[in-house]
Amino acid sequence: MTVYDELVGQEPVIEQLRAAAAAGAEALAGTGGGGMTHAWLFTGPPGSGRSVAARAFAAALLCPDQGCGHCASCHQVLSGSHADVEVVRPAGLSYGVRETRELVLRAASSPTGGRWRIVLFEDADRSTEQAANALLKAIEEPPARTVWLLCAPSPDDLVVTIRSRCRLVTLRTPPARAVAEVLVLREGIDPDVAAAAARAAQGHVGRAKRLATDEQARRRRAEVLAVPGRLSGVGPAVEAAEALVKAAEAEAKELGASLDAEETAAMRQALGESAKGRMPRGTAGALKELEDRQKSRTTRMKRDALDRALLDLASYYRDLLVVQLGAGVDLVNADRERELRSVSGPPEATLRRLEAIMVCRERLGANVNPQLAVEAMAMALRTG
Ligand SMILES: [Zn+2]
């Protein structure tokens, strides 16, 4: 076992990180020619394992054996409890300048374990412009023992000044075959179920697992894929749009509520909650701050859930295009092949529908009201 075991279908990245961890060890020992690179940017599509890769690399840098996966240091990093690794996970839609300045200060202190102080910044693309500037200064002149691991969907999601100072680690969409294999070997899932879930999840490992094991996730996905068949008129199209938004909101609420409850309970205990559930004086502010963060996380989760639903919908039209053009590639929704073959219409209309979905995703990214954006998309899907 090694720290890289959780990465699926990313062999080139693992090789790159192994070499980098070796170079890091040489830099610490004062041997070897090159110095340490202090800023790294991990990019890859959602679900490909950007933060998994960054965490594995952090473990490899701090492990005396460059990532054995079983020493105390590796365990601490992988479980999120190592004193020299700070994981930043922006809860809301953006990460502010005040938080970033504090982070930069903390990042500059010496590592307690004598190796590196590592900041793993998930969703670094959510930094505000001012926050990015504060970050840039830290990356331009890094303390000798500080290493920044930034994660973002693509290099374009970060300002060029930051991007150009980072070494890139580029994850790919893992092949469905590799995802299915992991589901079978690690989760004990039936091979046929695993194969279908891996294809449907389009390379998103976590989602593949949910689809293979969670009946509700499968049902929600089936509802999304039923949308194209429900666009018989303006009324039904509006209804379908409403159903899409509501389903995404329900999913996010459900996921968010369980996270919130756990966090709140942990926070109340940490702040000294009495056996009767009373809080000490002066703790209301901290609890309020947590509540605000949770609210903004739920907003983000709603948006993410809706985006996933739109990607599922896009996969339907993508498959339709494959059938219409007679391209001999695998269907994402192989279980719907018969239905897809019965749909009539020119491929040009399918392309326009795909375009409408992408426009909707962009508008949601720009914070347009979800109901309005999805309704407009449904209308465009109806007319084709
Ligand atoms: Zn180790």
Region 362-384 average pLDDT: 93
How close is the Cα of 253 to the center of ligand 1, in Å? Answer: 38
**Spatial CA neighbour of 56 closest among 162, 169, 146:** 169
pLDDT of 28 over the 80 cut: yes
Q: Could you give the dihedral angle defined by the CA atoms of residues 320, 245, 260 and 254, in that order, rounded to the nearest 10 degrees?
A: -70
Which pLDDT score, from 0 to 100, does residue 92 have? Answer: 63
Distance CA 52, CA 4 (A): 8
Whole-number percent of the chain with pLDDT over 90: 58
pLDDT level of residue 91 (50, 70, 90 thresholds): low
How close is the Cα of 75 to the center of ligand 1, in Å? Answer: 7
**Spatial CA neighbour of 142 closest among 113, 119, 114, 169:** 119
How close is the Cα of 65 to the center of ligand 1, in Å? Answer: 6
Which pLDDT score, from 0 to 100, does residue 93 have? Answer: 62
How close is the Cα of 68 to the center of ligand 1, in Å? Answer: 4
pTM (2 decimals)?
0.75
Averaged confidence pLDDT in the chain: 90
pLDDT of 97 over the 90 cut: no
Q: Tens digits of per-residue pLDDT, 36-76?
A: 899 999 999 888 899 999 999 999 999 999 999 999 999 99
**Spatial CA neighbour of 167 closest among 35, 42, 27:** 42
pLDDT of 127 over the 90 cut: no
Distance CA 73, CA 116 (A): 12
Whole-number percent of the chain with pLDDT over 70: 98
How close is the Cα of 28 to the center of ligand 1, in Å? Answer: 16
pLDDT level of residue 146 (50, 70, 90 thresholds): very high
How close is the Cα of 12 to the center of ligand 1, in Å? Answer: 21
How close is the Cα of 67 to the center of ligand 1, in Å? Answer: 5
How close is the Cα of 57 to the center of ligand 1, in Å? Answer: 11
pLDDT level of residue 136 (50, 70, 90 thresholds): very high
Evaluate whether 163 touches 155 at the Cβ level (below 8 Å): yes
Region 346-350 average pLDDT: 95
Q: Tens digits of per-residue pLDDT, 250-291?
A: 888 888 888 888 888 888 888 888 888 888 888 888 888 888
Most confident range (mean pLDDT) of 5-9, 249-253, 352-356 is 352-356
How many CB atoms are closer than 10 A to CB 268? 18
Which pLDDT score, from 0 to 100, does residue 265 have? Answer: 86
Sheet of strand 85-88: strand arrangement: 85-88, 117-121, 146-152, 39-43, 167-170
pLDDT of 171 over the 80 cut: yes
Greater pLDDT, 339 or 251: 339
How close is the Cα of 63 to the center of ligand 1, in Å? Answer: 4
Give the torsion sign (CA, 301, 102, 150, 177): negative
Least confident range of 6-10, 40-44, 92-96, 327-331: 92-96
How close is the Cα of 5 to the center of ligand 1, in Å? Answer: 13
Evaluate whether 353 touches 380 at the Cβ level (below 8 Å): yes
**One-character DSSP codes across 115-158:** S-EEEEETTGGGB-HHHHHHHHHHHHS--TTEEEEEEESSGGGS
Distance CA 308, CA 221 (A): 9
Which pLDDT score, from 0 to 100, does residue 373 have? Answer: 96
How close is the Cα of 36 to the center of ligand 1, in Å? Answer: 19
Q: Where are the beta strands (DSSP E) in the chain?
A: 39-43, 85-88, 117-121, 146-152, 167-170
Region 344-352 average pLDDT: 93
Which pLDDT score, from 0 to 100, does residue 301 have? Answer: 85
Q: Tens digits of per-residue pLDDT, 179-189?
A: 999 999 989 99
Region 140-160 average pLDDT: 91
Contact partners, residue 221, CB within 8 Å, separation at least 6: 200, 211, 312
How close is the Cα of 22 to the center of ligand 1, in Å? Answer: 13
pLDDT level of residue 174 (50, 70, 90 thresholds): very high
Contact partners, residue 238, CB within 8 Å, separation at least 6: 375, 378
Buried b (16+ CB within 10 A) or exposed e, 104-123: beebeeebeeebbbbbbbbb
How close is the Cα of 138 to the center of ligand 1, in Å? Answer: 28
Region 124-152 average pLDDT: 90
Q: Tens digits of per-residue pLDDT, 195-230?
A: 999 999 988 888 899 899 988 888 888 989 999 998
pLDDT level of residue 298 (50, 70, 90 thresholds): confident
